Amino acid sequence: MAQAKKTERPDGRKLNETREMEAKVGIIKRADGSAMFRMGKTIAYAAVYGPRELFPGFMQNPEKGILRCNYDMMSFSVTERKRPGPSRRGVEISLVTKNALGPAVNLDQFANTVVDIFIIITQADAGTRCAGITAASMALADAGIPMKDLVSAVSVGKVNGRIALDLVKEEEDLDGTTDIPCAIMSRNNEITLLQLDGDISEAELIEAVELAKEGCHKIYEIQKEALKEKYKEIKNE
Amino acid sequence: MSNLMVEEKDVVVPGEILAQGMDFVPAQGCLRENDKIIASQLGLVNLSGRLIKVIQLSGRYIPKKGDVVIGKVVDIGFSGWRVDISWAFEANLSMKEASSDFIDKKTDLTQYYTYGDIIAAQITYIFGSKIIDLTMKGPGLRKLKGGRIISITPSKVPRVIGKQGSMISMIKEKTGCRIIVGQNGLVWIQGDDSEKMLLAVDTIYKIEEEAHLSGLTDRIKSFLEDRNGSSKKN
């Protein structure tokens, strides 16, 4: 009995189950594209501006446009107040987000310009970078940026020796938990982000990534639905 | 054996598979991946014969050759003007293309267009995203004096213009205003009567808001007639 209790997840989910998800597109009026993605208690907002002129000029690429990403957490998003402004962690996540979205977007026809992505986390309960990537990919599509595919992201991990999908903060904080954020382009199962924090064996990692793919397919469906929802009426013409 | 996975006017998201097999050809907004055609943009599917196209529904204005745009003169150089056309980079209007009369090299260019002037111009040449050339030689291309400018989403511009300009000519006729719609989403309106001008502005905003709903032309027509009738009574 005690054994069974131990492997049960704090919110009673199955190991291969994600939290309840919600996605909305076009919520920020002044942005060229915007989206919100909620995964359980984690909420991410993303706004896309551009293509617009890039400053400083030396960063301009005459061959293609560049992607610039900014991830930030609101000071009230976590239990203990987060000091506002960029942090070491924020800079890292901005970079991995940019790299996760980079393979999907095609900015060849926007030479010398920049597409800016701003991701803001208003409520955090683990998996914020994944929620951010998911929201940003929807916002990019909403801004009409040419893309190869939508990017969906989810975290997988090893909790109490079992591979589980979409960890919450409570699970992440347990001793010996391994956290693996994963971003995947669903059509061809191409992985664009894979980070790993903790110990895991090779076989378990493969199992975890397979589980992440499964989770990302579910997220992809939600992204697709949210994007189509915004333009639904057009079809009824 | 090829099969089409979507229908005309379907809304598709980037990465969605539109067709399988080599019988179809990807056009604007699509790309081929092995034997599949996938959407590379959020938009509406448009099928014409073997061509599959995705029409953009959102996003910024992207300059295209031949577009008539409304711009603002922001700089004057030795041999031309720099014009802001709501794109990342300014467009260039050279002395040669600026007017039908010959402009001598020594002329003070501010005589023609000066800082802050609004012009309707046509894009003649694009290279990359930085080099955009404009011309003022053409029907309706001129300096816009007076009036007012409103901004709408560039993707809604075709609806404001209508098929063969049907919508815009209806608005012009009912309000008696002079209107120029730029492909970059800027609309210039000038009328003798401020009330009529306001009606034209309201109508264009209404089209933008309801662009996606069916029976748009009829609704706009009755809207214009209603408002015209009520203003006469007062």
User: How high is the pLDDT of residue B5?
Assistant: 87
Q: Does B42 touch chain A (CB under 8 A)?
A: yes
Strand stretches in chain B, DSSP E: 3-4, 11-12, 17-20, 25-26, 30-33, 36-39, 43-48, 51-56, 68-76, 80-84, 91-94, 118-127, 131-135, 143-144, 148-151, 178-181, 186-190
Per-domain boundaries in chain A? 13-230
Q: Which CATH architecture has domain B68-144?
A: Beta Barrel (2.40)
Q: Which CATH architecture has domain B3-56?
A: Beta Barrel (2.40)
Q: Does B57 touch chain A (CB under 8 A)?
A: yes
pLDDT 10s digits, B145-161:
999 999 999 988 998 99
Q: Tell me which of 3.30.70.120, 3.30.230.70, 2.60.40.3080, 3.40.1310.30 is the CATH number of domain A13-230.
A: 3.30.230.70
User: How high is the pLDDT of residue B101?
Assistant: 83
| Chain A: closest CA distance from residue B221 (Å) | 18
User: To which residue do tokens 């994600």 refer?
Assistant: A18
Closest CB to A234 among B44, B60, B89: B44
Residues 6+ apart with CB under 8 A from B164: none
CB contact (8 A) between residue B88 and residue A51: yes
Residue B105 pLDDT exceeds 90: no
Query: Percent of chain B scored above 70 by pLDDT?
Result: 98
Per-domain boundaries in chain B? 3-56, 68-144, 148-233
d(CA A90, CA A79): 17
**Nearest residue on chain A to B46, judged by CA atoms?**
A235
**Chain A residues touching chain B at CB-CB below 8 Å:** 26, 32-33, 50-54, 62, 65, 104, 106, 109-113, 141-150, 185-187, 223-224, 227-228, 231-237
Q: Does B213 touch chain A (CB under 8 A)?
A: yes
What is each CA distance from A81 to A73, B59, B69, in whole angstroms?
Answer: 10, 36, 49
User: Which band of pLDDT confidence, cut at 50, 70 and 90, is reported for residue B226?
Assistant: confident
| Chain A: closest CA distance from residue B111 (Å) | 30
Same topology between domain B3-56 and domain B68-144? yes
Please give the ipTM for the structure prediction: 0.88
d(CA B130, CA B120): 20
Maximum pairwise Cα distance, chain A: 65
CB contact (8 A) between residue A150 and residue B62: no
Closest CB to A147 among B14, B130, B213: B14
Residue A4 DSSP SS3? helix
User: How high is the pLDDT of residue B231?
Assistant: 62
Region A94-103 average pLDDT: 96
What is each CA distance from B83 to A2, B115, B123, in whole angstroms?
Answer: 74, 9, 11
Q: For the domain B148-233, what is the CATH code?
A: 3.30.1370.10
The token pair that represents A86 in the structure block: 């960029």
Residues of A in contact with B59 (CB under 8 A): 32-33, 143-145
Residues 6+ apart with CB under 8 A from A21: A37, A38, A39, A218, A219, A222
| Chain B: closest CA distance from residue A29 (Å) | 11
pLDDT 10s digits, A26-80:
999 999 999 999 999 999 999 999 899 999 999 999 999 999 999 999 999 999 9
d(CA B161, CA B1): 40
